[in-house]
Structures are given as C-alpha cells and as structure tokens.
Amino acid sequence: MAGLQGKKILFGVSGSIAAYKAAEWVRELVREEAVVTVIMTAAAERFVSSLTFAALSGNPVHLDMFDTDSERIMAHINLSREADAMLIAPATAQTLARLASGIAEDLLATVALAARIPIVVCPAMNSAMLAHPAVQENISRVCRFGYHVVHSTSGSLACGEIGDGRLTDWESTRETLLALFQPDDLCGRQVVITAGPTREPLDPVRFLSNRSSGKMGFALARTARRRGAQVTLITGPVSLANPPGVDVIRVSTAEEMAQAVFGCAPRADVIVKSAAVADFKPIAFSEHKLKKKTQGLQLDLEKNIDILAELGRKRPPRQLLVGFAAESREHASEGRRKLVEKNLDLIVVNDILGPQTGFEVETNQVILIDRKGHVELPLLSKEATAHRIWDAVVTLLPAVSVSPQEYSSGNRDPGCA
Ligand code: PMT
C-alpha cells in the first residue's frame, strides 16, 4: 500500500506566523510525490508570499474567489472535486470560525464548504485565543462535522508566550493524512506490539543484546494505528521516536518486557511479538564494573522467560497471537515448528542472512505461516511488510462486529477521539 505518492492534496493556508511551516509541509508532500494545490487567504499572503507556495508546489496558487480566468471559474467547486483530501494548516481562529459556521467569506472557506473529500485541520494561534470557549466550541463543531483535527501542541509561541497553540508537527499531520487512504479494518481493536532488542545487564556498563533496531515493530505500530487500531507498543532500547497516536512503553530487559506485555495482554485483541528478546541473561549482575585483570572471562547464563510461549499457554479465547521468527535456514519448517509449539495463529519468518532483510535494514522479506498454509512475500519496505501482516491478521480475526462509536478510542483522529 503506497503512502502519499500521487495523492492530490488541496492545501489551505490561513494567516498565522505558522504559515512559514506550511511551506515546509508543502515541500514534504512534494518530496513524497503528492500533487499539491495551494489556496491562501489574504491574511496568509501577508506572512508568506504566494510565490513561495507556487515555487514549492509547482502549481499556481489560488487566492481569489472572483478570478475571471475562465479556467478557474467555479474554482470553489472544481478545486475540491479534483482533490483526494484537503489540508488546512495553519487554521487560525478566524478560519476555524468560518469553517464551524459555514461562512463562505473567502475562497478557502468556500472550497471547504463545497468539498466532499476528507478535510484535515491543524489549528495554530495564541494560547489565550485557543482557550477561549468560542474557539474550543468551533474546534468541537468541525470535529462533529467529520473534519479530522490534528491538535496544536505546547511550547514557545511566536508572540513570546509559552503555552498551547503551536502548529502540530509534520509527522502527526502526515499520519492523519495517510490514515485517510487506508482501510479502517482494525478499527476498535486493541493491538499490542513488541519491538526492538532487550538488554541483559552484566555490570553497570555492559549488557548482552542484539542488532534489532525496532524498525519492523514501529512500522507495525504506525500502520495498525492508521488502520484504526488502538495500539500499545512495548519496545526495548531503540533510537526511534514514538509514533503519533500510539501508547509507547519503553523497557530494557526481557523481564521488564514480560511484565509490560502480561500487563496489557488481557485486554488485547491481537498481540504481535516482533521484538528480538534475549534468550539468555547473566545469572549474576556485578554491581561494580568487571575488571579485565584475567585473560578470559567466563559468563554463566540462564534462560530468559519465553514471553510468547507464555502468552500462547494463557491466551484468552478470541485473542489472536502473532509471533516472529528470525531464521538463517530451514525457514518454513522452523517457522511451522514455532507456530505449533508456541500455540500461535500466525508466524512471520524473517530471513536474517539476506543483505536487505531482517535486522537494522529498511526492508524485509518474510514468509507468513498460519495453520492452513504459507505465503512467501517479496522484498518490501518494512511498512509494506507490516501492511501485508495486518491483511493476514484481518482475515484471521474472529468476526466481532465493532462500530467506531462503541470504541471512540479506536478513532483514527487524535483530535476527535
Ligand atoms: O528491529 P529490526 O531491526 O527492524 O529487525 C526486525 C527483526 C528481525 C528483529 C524482527 O523482524 C524479528 O524477526 N523479530 C523476532 C526475532 C526473534 O527473537 O526471533 P526468535 O525466533 O528468537 O523468537 C521467536 C518469537 O519468540 C519471537 O516472536 C520473539 O519475540 C519471541 N520470544 C523469543 C524469546 C523470548 N525469550 N521471548 C519471546 O517472546
């Protein structure tokens, strides 16, 4: 499943100092090969020139309701008909008021009113304005209309104050846009995913670990969220940022991961164990740094708890359990053995010897094995692999009818949850 490539995005910019960030967002969209058409309010043009947006988007910028250019007659209807989604960022108090009351006073508000496409709104303003009940009511109203609000964040504002009202970051907005183009077939499902390595300490500075970067598990978390799931990501030490809209629990050892997983498991509809949990840990932890006085060092290790096997033993009815297997040979037979031994519904077998698969890299090549058979996937990005895993999960999920209203926490809009 592609990202934003080829998507036609109508980008509305209203008059806030944060308009300069919108210019950067247009660049990001174009970099992803989205087709961007910009509409600016008169106030927006006072902050950033329309020339900037025309140059960055590669398309003419629309400013005026009453353009006599024949190609643009009825622009308010045509612009939205030709687009896949509309993004309004920054959305000022003024623009929000127009959107909430249906006041078609300028081109941006008029196009939004005439649109039959999903609309993403990113408010940005001074924190006192944002806190005003009128603005809060307008935000609630546009949520009720079905607009996807990506809320502002706290920090230092251009006016010199510190507080809420800063335009959200591109990553959160991108996630909301991407979710518009995914199926919401995990809506209302509680999904627990593990990622990354564990670290088993030897002394205050050393540990046993492995090469897992967390990329596969984080890709699973991002894509599940986009598909509507309520996601808890339990990760060992990795250098990746928390995916927007995902509850993240950071742990270090296998024991800590086990406690976190067992704490979340009873409520989970699906558990996916993509973490590379250390199989062994040192029996003794040295409180002081081990000295290199002797020629060699003998380490006594003991087995760690097998979290996945334990989950397989205790799983409640209707819970779906997905394991991973990192294999260098006999991939399918090893995968099948683990599927049965650990009482799983699905296992994802990585080839860890291929140059572009398994640990650390951006791509993966896996075999999906369930009780009925197996599918060999081609080399794909980790996000595309994650989508294929969710496609398989969806076909295996027990048919529980879940309506988005019943599970507001499964709503894919952070702003409207
Ligand atoms: O993080 P990346 O750099 O993106 O790399 C991704 C990955 C290669 C780490 C990932 O795709 C992967 O294969 N994860 C599982 C690695 C692994 O530990 O495989 P295993 O065959 O040793 O374990 C089988 C299953 O049991 C796994 O689901 C594992 O999470 C689980 N397990 C293992 C040991 C243990 N003590 N507890 C467990 O729960």
Q: What is the pLDDT of residues 328-344, one digit of tens each?
A: 899 999 999 999 999 99
Mean pLDDT throughout 203-231? 97
Please report the atom of ligand 1 found closest to the CA of residue 196. 1
Poorest-pLDDT segment among 19-33, 146-160, 287-301: 287-301
The fold of the 8-180 domain, in CATH, is Rossmann fold (3.40.50)
Ligand 1 atom closest to 338 (CA): 24
| Distance in Å, CA 238 to ligand 1 centroid | 15
pLDDT, position 132: 98
Ligand 1 centroid, distance to 359 Cα (angstroms): 10
Q: For residue 307, which atom of ligand 1 is closest to its CA?
A: 39
Confidence of residue 403 (pLDDT cuts 50, 70, 90): very low
Tell me which residue has its CA closest to atom 24 in ligand 1.
Answer: 325
Q: How far apart are CA 236 and CA 88, in angstroms?
A: 37
> CA 51, CA 323: separation in Å to the nearest integer?
52
State the pLDDT at residue 76. Answer: 66
Q: Determine what percent of the chain is predicted with pLDDT higher than 90.
A: 84
pLDDT level of residue 399 (50, 70, 90 thresholds): low
Q: Atom 16 of ligand 1 has which residue's CA nearest to it?
A: 276
Which residue's CA is minimally distant from atom 27 of ligand 1? 324
pLDDT of residue 118: 97
- Strand runs labelled E in 143-198: 148-149, 153-156, 162-166, 190-195
- Is the pLDDT at 413 greater than 80, yes or no? no
Q: For residue 62, how many C-alpha atoms fall within 13 Å in the half-sphere facing its CB?
A: 28
**pLDDT at residue number 405:** 38
Nearest residue by C-alpha to atom 26 in ligand 1: 308
User: What digits encode the pLDDT tens for the residues 154-206?
Assistant: 988 888 888 999 999 999 999 999 999 999 999 999 999 999 999 999 999 99
Task: Tell me whether strands 320-327 and 346-351 are parallel, antiparallel or unpaired.
Answer: parallel
8 A C-beta contact, residue 92 and residue 86: no
Residue 37 CA to residue 13 CA, distance in Å, equals: 11
Confidence of residue 1 (pLDDT cuts 50, 70, 90): low
Active site residues: 159
Question: Where in the chain do CATH 3.40.50.1950 domains reside?
Answer: 8-180
Helix (H, G, I), strand (E, B) or coil at 81: helix
From 126-130, 159-163, 352-356, the region with the lowest mean pLDDT: 159-163
| Percent of the chain topping pLDDT 70 | 92
Mean pLDDT, rounded, for 115-132: 96
How does residue 71 score in pLDDT terms, banded at 50, 70 and 90?
low
Residue to mutate (ligand 1; options 194, 257, 273; most atoms within 8 A of CB): 273
Portions of the chain given CATH number 3.40.50.10300: 190-279+300-416
Residues 6 or more apart whose CB falls under 8 angstroms from that of 55 comprise none
Say what the pLDDT of residue 401 is: 47
Report whether 262 contacts 271 (CB < 8 A): no
CATH of domain 190-279+300-416: 3.40.50.10300
Among candidate residues 28, 30, 412, 380, the one with its CA nearest the CA of residue 223: 412
Phi/psi class of residue 228: alpha, beta or left (left: φ > 0; alpha: ψ in -120 to 50)? left
Which residue from 256, 261, 277, 258 is spatially nearest to 208, judged by alpha carbons? 277
Mean pLDDT, the chain, integer: 92
Print burial letters for 108-141: b (CB count within 10 Å at least 16), e (below 16). Answer: bbbbbebbebbbbbbbbbbbebbeeeebeebbeb
State whether the Cα torsion 202-206-212-213 is positive or negative.
positive
Question: What's the burial of 256, exposed, middle or buried (CB within 10 Å: 0-12/13-18/19+)?
Answer: middle
Cα 350 to middle of ligand 1, angstroms? 9
Supply the pTM of this predicted model.
Answer: 0.91
Is 90 exceeded by the pLDDT of residue 263? yes
> What angle (nearest 5°) sits at the alpha carbon of residue 177, between those of residues 407 and 250?
65
pLDDT of residue 92: 98
Q: Are 305 and 311 in contact (CB under 8 A)?
A: no
Assess whether pLDDT exceeds 70 at residue 72.
no
Residues having CB closer than 6 A to ligand 1 are 196, 212-216, 254, 273-277, 279, 304, 306-308, 323-326, 338, 350, 358-360
Q: Which atom of ligand 1 is nearest to the CA of 309?
A: 39
- pLDDT at position 157 is 85
